[in-house]
Every structure is written in structure tokens, then in C-alpha cells.
A and B are shown apart, each in its own frame.
Chain A
Amino acid sequence: MTFNTASFLIQVSALLLALAALHKPLGVYLARVFEGTTSTRPERLFYRLAGVDAGTEQTWSVYLRSVLAFSAVSILVVFLLQRLQGVLPGSGTLTGVDPWVAMNTAISFVTNTNWQTYVPETTVGIFVQMALLAVQNFLSAAVGIVVAVALIRGIARAKTDRLGNFWVDLARTTFRVLLPMAVVAAVVMVIGGVVQNFSPTDVINQATGTTQSIPGGPVASQEAIKILGTNGGGYFNANSAHPFENPNVFISLFQVFLLLLIPSALPYAFGRMVGDQKQGYTVAAVMGTLWLTSVSLTGWAVAAGQGTATAVAGGLGEGFEQRFGAAPSAIFAAATTLTSTGAVNVAHDSLPPLAGGVAMVNMMLGEVAPGGTGSGLYGMLILSIISVFIAGLMVGRTPEYLGKKIGPPQMKLSAMYILVTPILVLALAGITVLLPDVMTNVPASGPHQFSELLYAFTSGANNNGSAFGGITSSGPYLSTMLGIAMLLGRFLPIVLVLALAGSFARQGKIPTSAGTVPTHGPLFGALLLGVTVILTALSYFPALALGPLAEGLLQ
């Protein structure tokens, strides 16, 4: 398989143009949804059923408790109903899911990770897929968005302890943003050839005369929100490399577009909600620069991988989907790891080592370019706060971000946010290496074995969900460790972000002057980019050296 540079460039440009065209209208729409005061009928019904007073706003701690309670209940429901699969309708011959797998899956889908330690075709039926996993695809994406919205409100508001109402934000995100967009996306996918039916298995006659059973199902509807909500949990084990999920190059590119769509529109909504569009543009520009750099590096690494000795021994063929070719695979791999999606159309294990390394770095950046729905934006805003802190000191003023002072409490919350994922990844991977029994689940050897392990924890703690493969994570130890990584990697940052939102909202607003560090424009953008890259490099460089770098530079 060869890497077609021209097609690569055309596809990247097409994506860039499409996102540039849509980020503004969608951003305006998102801002309007969150600043609005009216309720639609399904929302009112939801409020009545849930006993929510839509007119009351919550403090940050109540908002946080709502997020945590909602997520805890979700995990419990998804876990229990998976265990009860045998008695539920639409499950065919499938029985209850193994407890470790059910636990891991419940956490995985509620945390927007969608790490799949199970083989969907043989583990879960239509009920679990539609009533549990697809629902969580919507809700976990919505949770990320509402947390980002709460942070934006904290920044935009002054001298209040109210951040909005979690249930209202959740309902609006689901009913007004995700559902309509998912419907449109699903229709496009069906037209594009993605399967949508309710027959679990099709028996078809092959040309050879033998018969083969192929599982079907409501794939397109699930696929739409899997991508749109940066979830990534595939209907099939092969995920977006499966022809029913991703039949052709057009749909593949459409999926990349969809997974970048909401995260890249959120900065515009942010700029609008804080009343300074330049802020939104700067964040978007930094995200865009990182994305372009990353996708170019991936493309370069894939292209460079085709002529080496490894290529001769199967090279770019193994693990790549022949229908797509190398270029769309590189674009997909970059986008899925830069967002918190984790859907794959190529086995990342089979990417040339340096391309696999780029995929890891993408996640290690904290998935901020443009990141998961909501989580990408709040990650970038935390990095902005760290950047503005350093910048503020360097111009001789107590640092402030959009009129909010960055004092010790704000710095504590932001610094802890930055600590969470590197510590989870490095500590959990470090402990795992010390357990020889567990390491038998990662049978490869040398730097590649380490890459697989590092990738798994990086993916879990950053709520990505893509796998490098080569690792069996369904056992009690790994499914628990990855479950911990996913849970803490999702909810510790959310706790910190909401606390930060609360502390910002309580503050007054400092008017800007010539002495204020502008948090827009090329200079601040460059600083933010530098801080993001350097913080990542400092945390992960030795580990990357022992994994993908060692493998990629092996001579």
C-alpha cells in the first residue's frame, strides 16, 4: 500500500475548509442554546419527570454533585443491565456480561472513553447497544459540554455563586444539539452505505458457495453519535475499520469531520459567551495548529514507514484497511487521538512506530486539539490559565485571565488538573510493569510491548478509548486499573474545573488596560502552544523514548 500525498493534502484541506465554514454558525448556535431561557416540549417533559426546577441555578458544588450523582447512577445502571442481559429483550442467545468486563464497559462509556475490553459481536446484543451504550454516547458527550459551559459561565459572570443548572444544560445539549445533529449524521451515513437494520445476523451466500453469518444492527444511528460525541465505542470490534460502520473513503472522511465538528465549534461559542470573539479565535487557532502539525507528522511517519525493512515484511499492509489506503488512515488516526474519540479505522498497533508515537503524544497533550466534546475546551482553558500565570508574572502584574485574578486557589486547581493524567498514566503503567503475571497479558516484547502498555493507560486516563492492540485487558487486574484510570481521568478534572468555575464566578471583573496581558493574538497563542507542548514533553519524554522512539529509531 502506498501513501498518496496528493490525496492526503486534498483531504486535510477539505476538512479544514469544512470546519472553518461551520465552526461559526455552530458556535453561535451553541452559545444561544446555553444563554437561552426558554424550554422546548421534550425538555419540559424531562424536567417534570426528573423533578427539576428549570428556573433555579446551582452553585458550583451543587452542579458538581449533580454531575457526579448522574454519572454514578449511569455507571450503576449500565453495569447492572449488562449483567442482566440474558433476561432482557433483543439479546438473542447472549447471556449476562462478565462482571469485570461489565464494570469496565460501564465506566468506559460513562466517562466518554469507550475503551472496549469486550468483543461487541459476541458480548452485547441490540438492547445493550441501543438502550445502554448509545444512550451513554449522548449523555457522556453532553456531560463534557455542560462542564465546559459551566466554566465559561464562571469566567463570564461576576460576583455570583451560580453557574447554571446541570439538568437544564444536560437536557438542552442532548435535545437541541446532539440529537438533531446525530439524526442528520445518521441519515448521511445510511445514504453513504452504513448498515441500519434490526436483524442481528444476516446469513449470506458467498461466491464460493459456503454460507457466512454476519452480524448487522442499528449501526448508522449508533455510529453517528459515536463519532459526533467523540465517544468511539464501535458497534463492531473492528470499529470504523468495519465495512458496515465505515464503508468507503467518503464516509471515513465524513467521520473525521464529525468528530472534529463540535469540539472545534466550542471555542467560537466560548468567545461569544465571554463577549470577546478574539479569545475564541485564539483558542481555535492553537487547537488548529496542533491538529495540523499532528496530522502532518502522522502523515509523514506513515509515508516514511512504507519504504523501510518493516514495510518489506508486510509493512503498511498489515492492520491497514485496503478500502481506505494509507492517507485516510493517517488522518483518522490523528483526529481520533486528538479528540477523546478512540474510534479507529486502522490498527494503531500496525502504524509505523513513530506514527503510533504521534498518536500517543496526541492523547498526552491532554486531548485539547480540539479535544473531546467540552473536555477539549476546558483542557485548553486550563492550559491558558497556566500560560497566563507565567505571562502575567513576566510583565509584572498579578496574573489574570479574562478579568479574573489567578491567585493561589485558582493556581492550585489548575496545577492539580495538569497533574492528574500524567500521574495516572505513569504511576499505573509503572505499577503494572512490576507485576509479571499481568505482563503476560501484553505478550509482545521490547519497546513495542512497552508502547502497548503505555498506550493503554494513556488512552484510559485521557478518556480516549482507542487501543494499540496486542493487550488483553478483560482480566480483573487490567480492567480494574484501566477502570480507575478512566474514572479518575474523567472526574478529577471535572471536580477541579467546576471548583475553578465557582471561584471565578465569585470574583469581580478586573477591567483590562494596557498593563493586562492580552490573552488573544499570535503572541499569547504561541505561548499557549509552547506551554502545552513543553508540559507534555516534560511529563512523557522518557516514557516515549523507551516506547515508540526506541522502536522507531531502531536501526
Chain B
Amino acid sequence: MTRTTTRTQTGLATVPETLADGNPLGTPGDHKHHTKAPAKLTASSVAAALPVAIRKLAPRQMIHSPVMFTVLVGAGLCTAICLVRPSVFSIAVTAWLWLTVLFGTLSEAIAEGRGKAQADSLRASRQGVQAKLRLPDGGTKEVAGTELRLNDVVICEAGDVIPSDGEIIEGLASVDESTITGESAPVIRESGGDRSSVTGGTKVLSDRIVVRITAEPGQTFIDRMIKLVEGAVRQKTPNEIALHVLLVSLTIVFLVVTMSLAPFASLAGATPSPIVLVALLVCLIPTTIGALVPAIGIAGMDRLVQHNVLATSGRAVETAGDITTLLLDKTGTITYGNRRAVNFFPANTVDMTELIEAARLSSLADETPEGRSVVDLAAGKGVSGPELAELGRGPEQLTVVEFSASTRMSGLDLDGRQVRKGAASAVTAFVADLGGSIPAEVGRRVQEISAQGGTPLLVATATHDGARILGTIHLADVVKPGMQARFAELRKMGIRTVMVTGDNPVTAKAIAAEAGVDDFLAEATPEDKLAVIKKEQAAGRLVAMTGDGTNDAPALAAADVGVAMNSGTPAAKEAANMVDLDSDPTKLINIVGIGKQLLITRGALTTFSIANDVAKYFAIVPALFTATYPGLGLLNIMGLTSPASAILSAVIFNALIIIALIPLALRGVKYRAVSANQALGRNLLVYGLGGLIAPFIGIKIIDLIISLIPGIG
């Protein structure tokens, strides 16, 4: 039978298994240990963000958002006019223009604030950490963790906080990584192999390791994470730039529209005041989306961090939304990490119950997942009996026979009766030694199971009378529940899934068919993975994959979205553009959703923002010109009270809608796995048609209220 290296340290379950078993394919946000930021606005979060928002009003910062900068300039202009010629109307409009700008910066500040608490706790984990630096002469010296440089070598012992990111060059230790992953179960880190990297800020629980530092000061994982959650490293992504181009163009058009309106109206003898023109301009330019773009971007990254994924750039997150091909490792992602018993096949002369009982006995002491799966399957077939502990207390003499590489069997000796299970060749040899032989039908069954890609285990008993083979246990890969539905969902979204496995093509094909993936890559080497990625990309597709080994690094670097497991090697993490702190390969599917959600939110609010303008025209244009051309009163379809109240209502609506949409910007528009056409139809209806209608209602309500103010109504 097979034993995996991780299982030799029984009791220290590694993170991937914990998560993979408990939560095979979660939807965004359902990882139990995540600290979920509240989607609702609380008074305290607004109050905390307010000072930051006011600081952000500095023109030097505002210039990055041309739309809101235009509002700022307009508000400044109106303030100057108010000082010269104050009136209730002009002061009210000016005040609301300032509020419009403030609401914009406030949304950004609130989004940033949500990550701040997380950043603070991360920072605290690094505060005052001392490192035992190994000197060239072999001695050690205490230095501050923040002073460590690349390639320094430090020693960490039980109870130490690892001072910086590094690679274990000597030793093995169990490490508590809960500061970064939120997962309390410790993980094993050891030198050599794919689990050699350690992260600064995590804690050594046992043993002693020697670590070579792999990060420059200020460039460690935690430093990057802090920057990410604080939104400090936000760069505009290509889609964001393209959107900005559209928003700036609209702003320019509306600038020309309002500026040309002055001479046009003067020809009619109805020159509007500068305050009114600024109000019109601010209402028309896409302030709603212009104000919320930074918040949407920050919230998107924040959602990723909440899923315990770190991205090197916002661009990678957006690319995730564009992915058309997912390369998924079979083991751990599509199937459980270990094979499981799926059936018993007794020999011709053996009763089924006898086989199951023997199989169960032989597996009682076997703590591996395979062993437990045999006991579980037996229970499922209605065969149960005493536990190992009870047997030990019983009258019979009990000896546990551990698996060893030389015997390749395990089992029990119970009062001279030997019960064994193990690899077919080993059990056959064991029986032959004692004068027994393998029944022909059992031999055929063994070949059959192997041909299907399963693992056959033989069960045998031996007494002083001799030995005989009772039958076969079929171990097979078990596809995690719900995978097929999830892949169908992905297909509906236009994403192809390719299963990557080291299995032979026959096995791979069987599992691929069972899981419902679109394609598979059998007997895959890292080079094969790279070749598949190149091939898909040549066909114009965007590929995402996960990996953890150093030999995955080239493929991770080549993939459009490469997600490295946090448990992986530094080389893998370096090559990837995202790191999953939970080391959960199924996370890729959630990442795609987060990327899409980010774009959808932007698109929906852009549509809403532009559609809003129609109602604003119907409020402001009749207000401006009905006095000159009474016929235009027909355009006042909302029946707004007076020109002053109409204009002010439009300005107020324009400002309040920003506040109203902050929760949506932070939470993101709900993403459903449906085809693009369905998603478009739905969102057009909600945000396009909704955006057309909502302001008519909103402006009318505001008008009804403010018309009570003397000097306006």
C-alpha cells in the first residue's frame, strides 16, 4: 500500500487537507476562519473614515480622478461666487457640491479603513521580533528582525517568532501560521522538498530550524500583505484605465455642453448663472462611478485578502476574471488527497462478511486515510466490531503489525491468528510462505482493478493451520462531492477545466469523466504543464493554474494567473502572481469569481451613472429655460416645484446616490455563474433601466422636501 510523506507525521494535519476535507469547494466568503469585514456601513466606520476623507480633498490627490477633480474645481468656483453674491440657493448648491466631493473621498477612505484593522494586527505580529543571527564563525547574535538582510542565516527554536521570510536549510519544525492564514492547526515545515519556506511573523511551536532569509527588509510577505490591505500599492489596472478614458471623455463632452450652453442661452436672452452651469456640469459628469472607482478596486482586493489570497497586483485579479482555461491538479483539488476503499471482493470460497471483518481488523491500527477508509467502508456495509482499544483490554493477546517498507503489509496478530492486508505481491508472498496460494479469480480481480486505475489490496489470514487469501479491497480516487456541478457552472461561464494528473491515461480518463472536466493531462510532468499552457495561450485563451513545487515555477510564471500554495517553495511563490495562504487549490475557482465581480461592479455602476443623466436633464433643462420658452415647461415631467428646487434636487440626488451606493461598491454586485448573455440582460435591466428610472423618483422626492425651504420652493 502507499504511504505519503506527509502522513508519516500523523497528528500534524497539513492545512490543505483540513480545508479540502471540510470545505471542498466553497463559494466566496464561506471559509469559516475568515474575518469578514462588514458589508454594511456602520456609524463608527464612517466616523473613522471622515478625517481621512477630508485629507483626501487636497487637490494634489484629487487630480488622479479627473471627474471628481472637476467637481472640486466647480465647488471652489461656486464658493467664490457665494462670497460675492450669497443667496439661499447658491449657498445650498455650493454646500452640496462640496458634499459630493467629500462623499467620493469618504467612500475611498471607508474602503481603506476596512483593511486597516487587518494591517494593524499584521504589523503588531512583527513588532519587536528579535532574531538569532548565525555569524560566520558559528556563534549567534541577537538582532532586530527588521534589520535582517537577504541571505542572512538565523536560528529559530520552539517559541520563537520567525523574524522574516526565508527557506529552511536545516531541520524540521511545526509552525503556527495563524497570524497570516487564520488557521490554528500547525503545519510542518522542513528543509528540502516543497515545504521548506517559512513566513516572517509565524511562530515555531516545536523543534529547531535554521533559516536562510529570502526577503529584503520591507519586502517580506507580511509587508506586502499590509500594503495590499491598506490599498497603498494600488495601481490602475488596464480595465480601470480604459474605464477612466471613457469617464474623462464624457467629462470633456459635458464641459463643452455646459460651456456652449452659456452663449446658446444668451442668444435666447436667458443667460444662466455660473452656479447653475456648474450644477448642471456636476450633475452630468459621471460622478457616481468616478467617486466609487477607487473604493470598488480596494474592496475587490480586500475580498481577495478575506479569502486568504495575496495578489501581487490588481491586474492579476482582473485577469482572473478573464480566465478561460483552468488547469487543476487532480489530487487534492478534484479528488480527495488519498485513495479510498470503494469495494470488497471476496474469494469464491469466502463469505463477504468474513472478508469485511478481516479487512476491518487489519485496518484498525492503520491510521492512514486509506486504512480509515477501509474501516469506514466496512461500517457502511453494516459490519462493525470492537475498537482497537477494546481489543487491547480483551482477553486475547493483541500485537499491532505496523506497515514497513520491507513487508509492505500491516495488520494485527490476535492470539496467534494473523490478519494482514497489503499490496498484492506482498500478501501473495506472505501466503505462499505459509503454504497457501492465490485463487485464480482473486488474481483476475487484482489485474482488473489495476487496469481501471485503482489500487488492489489483498486481505489474508493465517493461523497455525496455514494461510489463505480472503479477497480484495478496491482502493480508488474519490471525486469530491459537488465537483461535477461546479465544473458545469464553470462551463456555463465559458471556462474550460483541464485536469492534470500523474496517473496513466486510462485512470485519468475515468476520473475525468466522473468529475466532468473538459479535458485531462495524464502522466503529466511539469514540462507537460508548461506545454499545455503555451498551447492554450497560443489559441488566445487565458490560463490559470496552481502549483507548489519548484518544478512548477516555470508553468506558474507562464500562466496568466498562477496561484502558489503558501506551503510551497519560495521559487514557486516567486513565480506566481498570487499566493494562497490556505494552500487550497480549489481557491482558484473563487479567485475567478472575485475577479469577475470586480469588473461587474464597475460596469454596473458606470451604466447606472450614465443612465442617471437623462432624468437630470429633465430636471435642469426646463428649470433653465421655461421662463424664456414656456413651451419647454412640457419637459418638466416630474412636476418639480420651482427652477431653484429642481436644480438643487438634482444636485442633492447626485451627491446622495454616491453615499447610497457605497455599500454596493464595497460588497460588489452579486456574481452568478450564468452565461454572459444572461448576466448582461439581468444587469442591464437592474442598472441600466433602474438607473434610468431611479433618479426620476429620487429627484421628485427630494424636490417635495426641499420645496418647503423658504427661498427655494
Q: Which residue numbers of A lie inside 8 Å of B, CB to CB?
A: 386, 389-399, 403, 406-408, 410-412, 415-416, 418-419, 422-423, 426-427, 429-431, 433-434, 446-447, 449-450, 508-511, 513-518, 521, 523-524, 527, 530, 534, 537-539, 541-543, 545-546, 549-550, 552-555
Q: In the docked arrangement, what's the CA distance between A550 and B631, Å?
A: 6
Q: Are A553 and B629 in contact (CB under 8 A)?
A: yes
Nearest B residue to A428, CB-CB: B260
Q: Are B602 and A426 in contact (CB under 8 A)?
A: no
A511 contacts across to B, CB distance below 8 A: 324, 539-541
- The residue from B238, B253, B613, B683 contacting A398, defined by CB atoms under 8 A apart: B238
A510 contacts across to B, CB distance below 8 A: 540-541
Q: Which of B76-84, B150-158, B672-680 participates in binding chain A?
A: B672-680
A–B complex contacts, Cβ < 8 Å, 6 sampled = A389-B246, A393-B603, A398-B599, A427-B256, A511-B540, A541-B621
Q: Are A391 and B680 in contact (CB under 8 A)?
A: yes
- Given A390-B607, A517-B676, verify A433-B266 contact (CB < 8 Å): yes
Q: Are B243 and A393 in contact (CB under 8 A)?
A: yes
Q: Are A406 and B242 in contact (CB under 8 A)?
A: yes
Interface residue B221 (Cβ < 8 Å from any Cβ of A): no
- Given A514-B494, A541-B621, A545-B635, verify A394-B684 contact (CB < 8 Å): yes
B residues contacting the other copy or chain, number (CB 8 A): 78
Q: Are B253 and A419 in contact (CB under 8 A)?
A: yes
Interface residue B491 (Cβ < 8 Å from any Cβ of A): yes
Q: Are B617 and A542 in contact (CB under 8 A)?
A: yes
Q: In the docked arrangement, what's the CA distance between A521 and B252, Å?
A: 32
Q: Are A515 and B611 in contact (CB under 8 A)?
A: no
Q: Are A450 and B268 in contact (CB under 8 A)?
A: yes
Q: Are A523 and B681 in contact (CB under 8 A)?
A: yes
Interface residue B391 (Cβ < 8 Å from any Cβ of A): no
B318 contacts across to A, CB distance below 8 A: 398
Q: Are B683 and A407 in contact (CB under 8 A)?
A: no
A415 CB to nearest B CB, Å:
4
Count of CB-CB pairs between chains A and B under 8 Å: 217
Interface residue B604 (Cβ < 8 Å from any Cβ of A): yes
B493 contacts across to A, CB distance below 8 A: 514-515
Q: In the docked arrangement, what's the CA distance between A313 and B616, Å?
A: 37
Enumerate B586-628 residues with CB–CB distance to A below 8 Å: 595-600, 602-604, 606-607, 610-611, 613-614, 617, 621, 624-625, 628
A553 contacts across to B, CB distance below 8 A: 629, 631-632, 634-635
A427 contacts across to B, CB distance below 8 A: 256, 260
Chain A binding site: helix, strand, loop or mixed by DSSP?
helix
A534 contacts across to B, CB distance below 8 A: 610-611, 613-614
Q: In the docked arrangement, what's the CA distance between A138 and B495, Å?
A: 49
Q: Are B595 and A396 in contact (CB under 8 A)?
A: yes
- Given A543-B260, A546-B265, A552-B631, verify A418-B322 contact (CB < 8 Å): no
Q: Are B264 and A450 in contact (CB under 8 A)?
A: yes
Q: Are A514 and B239 in contact (CB under 8 A)?
A: no
Q: Considering residues B324, B604, B611, B634, which has the most beta carbons from chain A within 10 angstroms of its beta carbon? A: B324
A38 CB to nearest B CB, Å:
32
Q: In the docked arrangement, what's the CA distance between A391 and B617, Å?
A: 24
Q: In the docked arrangement, what's the CA distance between A412 and B243, Å?
A: 10
Interface residue B54 (Cβ < 8 Å from any Cβ of A): no
Q: In the docked arrangement, what's the CA distance between A426 and B264, Å?
A: 9
Contact with A along B311-324 (1 / 0, CB 8 A): 00000001101101
Interface residue B267 (Cβ < 8 Å from any Cβ of A): yes
Q: In the docked arrangement, what's the CA distance between A522 and B492, Å?
A: 20
Q: In the docked arrangement, what's the CA distance between A392 and B492, Å?
A: 16
Interface residue B476 (Cβ < 8 Å from any Cβ of A): no
Q: Are B629 and A554 in contact (CB under 8 A)?
A: yes
Q: Are B617 and A517 in contact (CB under 8 A)?
A: no
Nearest B residue to A507, CB-CB: B540
- The residue from B539, B541, B683 contacting A394, defined by CB atoms under 8 A apart: B683
Enumerate B556-602 residues with CB–CB distance to A below 8 Å: 595-600, 602
Q: In the docked arrangement, what's the CA distance between A508 and B540, Å?
A: 7
Nearest A residue to B258, CB-CB: A542
Q: Are A416 and B249 in contact (CB under 8 A)?
A: yes
Interface residue B58 (Cβ < 8 Å from any Cβ of A): no
Enumerate B286-307 residues with CB–CB distance to A below 8 Å: none
B611 contacts across to A, CB distance below 8 A: 534
Q: Are A419 and B249 in contact (CB under 8 A)?
A: yes
Nearest A residue to B240, CB-CB: A408
A537 contacts across to B, CB distance below 8 A: 614, 617
Q: Are A398 and B239 in contact (CB under 8 A)?
A: yes
Q: In the docked arrangement, what's the CA distance between A395 and B592, Å?
A: 12
Contact with A along B263-288 (1 / 0, CB 8 A): 11111100000000000100010000
Q: Told that A415-B245, A419-B252, A538-B250 touch, could you supply 20 new A-B pairs with CB distance under 8 A? A: A393-B239, A393-B606, A394-B600, A394-B603, A395-B600, A398-B318, A411-B243, A430-B259, A433-B266, A510-B540, A513-B324, A513-B496, A514-B491, A524-B680, A527-B684, A534-B613, A542-B280, A543-B264, A553-B629, A553-B634
Interface residue B117 (Cβ < 8 Å from any Cβ of A): no
- The residue from A391, A450, A538 contacting B284, defined by CB atoms under 8 A apart: A538
Q: Are A394 and B625 in contact (CB under 8 A)?
A: no
Q: Are B322 and A422 in contact (CB under 8 A)?
A: no
A549 contacts across to B, CB distance below 8 A: 631-632, 635
Q: In the docked arrangement, what's the CA distance between A510 and B494, Å?
A: 12
- Given A403-B540, A550-B625, verify A394-B256 contact (CB < 8 Å): no
Q: In the docked arrangement, what's the CA distance between A530 and B597, Å?
A: 24
A552 contacts across to B, CB distance below 8 A: 631
A550 contacts across to B, CB distance below 8 A: 268, 625, 628-629, 631-632
Interface residue B688 (Cβ < 8 Å from any Cβ of A): yes
A505 CB to nearest B CB, Å:
15
Contact with A along B663-693 (1 / 0, CB 8 A): 0000000010001110111011001100000
- Given A411-B246, A419-B253, A515-B324, verify A394-B680 contact (CB < 8 Å): yes
Interface residue B47 (Cβ < 8 Å from any Cβ of A): no
Q: In the docked arrangement, what's the CA distance between A307 and B196, Å?
A: 90
- Given A394-B680, A395-B679, A415-B246, verify A446-B268 contact (CB < 8 Å): yes
B99 CB to nearest A CB, Å:
24
Q: Are A429 and B264 in contact (CB under 8 A)?
A: yes
B261 contacts across to A, CB distance below 8 A: 542-543
Q: Are B671 and A396 in contact (CB under 8 A)?
A: yes
Q: Are B680 and A538 in contact (CB under 8 A)?
A: no
Q: Are A408 and B241 in contact (CB under 8 A)?
A: yes
Q: In the docked arrangement, what's the CA distance between A429 and B628, Å?
A: 20
B610 contacts across to A, CB distance below 8 A: 534, 538
- The residue from B268, B540, B679 contacting A546, defined by CB atoms under 8 A apart: B268
Q: In the docked arrangement, what's the CA distance between A412 and B249, Å?
A: 9
A356 CB to nearest B CB, Å:
15
B252 contacts across to A, CB distance below 8 A: 419, 423
Q: In the docked arrangement, what's the CA distance between A513 and B541, Å?
A: 10
Interface residue B386 (Cβ < 8 Å from any Cβ of A): no
Interface residue B395 (Cβ < 8 Å from any Cβ of A): no
- Given A397-B596, A542-B621, A550-B629, verify A408-B242 contact (CB < 8 Å): yes
Contact with A along B467-500 (1 / 0, CB 8 A): 0000000000000000000000001111110000
Interface residue B48 (Cβ < 8 Å from any Cβ of A): no
Nearest B residue to A547, CB-CB: B264
Nearest A residue to B684, CB-CB: A527
Q: Considering residues A391, A406, A434, A450, which has the most beta carbons from chain B within 10 angstroms of its beta carbon? A: A391
Nearest A residue to B496, CB-CB: A513
A422 contacts across to B, CB distance below 8 A: 253, 256-257
- The residue from A411, A418, A554 contacting B631, defined by CB atoms under 8 A apart: A554
Q: In the docked arrangement, what's the CA distance between A327 and B683, Å?
A: 41
A392 contacts across to B, CB distance below 8 A: 599, 603
Q: In the docked arrangement, what's the CA distance between A406 and B491, Å?
A: 24
A515 contacts across to B, CB distance below 8 A: 324, 493-495, 675-676
B674 CB to nearest A CB, Å:
9
- The residue from B238, B319, B603 contacting A408, defined by CB atoms under 8 A apart: B238
A543 contacts across to B, CB distance below 8 A: 257, 260-261, 264
Q: In the docked arrangement, what's the CA distance between A429 and B257, Å?
A: 11
Q: Are A398 and B495 in contact (CB under 8 A)?
A: no
